Amino acid sequence: MKLIVDNICKKFEGKVVLDHASFEFESGKIYGLLGRNGAGKTTFFNCLNEDIKKDEGTCLLMDESGNQRELGLEDLGYVLSTPMVPDFMTGRELVSFFLDINKKKIQDVKPVDWYLDLVALQEDSRDLLIKDYSHGMKNKMMMLLTIIANPSVWMLDEPLTSFDVVVADEMKKLLRSLKGDRIIIFSTHVMELATSLCDEIVLLQHGKLSKVEKGSETMEEFEEKIIELLKEGGTEE
């Protein structure tokens, strides 16, 4: 499966943010989306998610047989850097409710605790109200709902930066284990996180998307190359 982003354009009050941005994302890979502040990463996600109407361009999904169709909301999962989860429910109640309202779409439904175990949510936290969860725990719940919904394309906007070192490592391992038939686009400002987790690095600069090719460089040299390219891209909020 491929996500084909073709000539996406978006401008705000005359400022061009996305300028005929094109890229092909393949399933089975985690893509690190990097760009300086103001480069348009969130705008790009919002255009895919139709939270913002794009001015031009198309987003298509192509299956293994070459059949193409427009990307739909049901194909997307969006994990925001600021988690949006209902504070009045417990973690267990939220997962149970989400499973219930999506039971016709979810194959091989597991018990609630199976899902909570998946993201290593501590047992003594499962029946606490989410309003009492830490930022990182709320991010875990957001991530878990995306895992349960199992869309074809995951857009992850800085989802791991609120985790401590141990939890971040657990979530990285989980994402690697889940990438098989999915397209995961991972936006982050943390270079080490991008290069250690992602299969490919994609830069968004000057309104365009481009892959950073890795040759025989060491990881340190590769990261230095990315930084130099980002400097050329300019833009700072």
- Per-residue pLDDT tens over the stretch 54-82: 999 999 999 989 899 999 988 999 888 78
> In b/e form, how buried is each residue of 85-119, taking b as 16+ CB within 10 angstroms?
beeebbbbbbbeebbeeeeeeeeeeeebeebbebb
Instruction: Give the per-residue pLDDT at 43.
Output: 93
Task: Give the mean model confidence (pLDDT) for residues 184-194.
Answer: 88
Reference 45, options 124, 158, 192; nearest CA is 158
Amino acid identity for residue 138 in this structure? K
Q: Which domains does the chain have, with CATH numbers?
A: 32-52+72-233 (3.40.50.300)
Report whether pLDDT(160) > 80: no
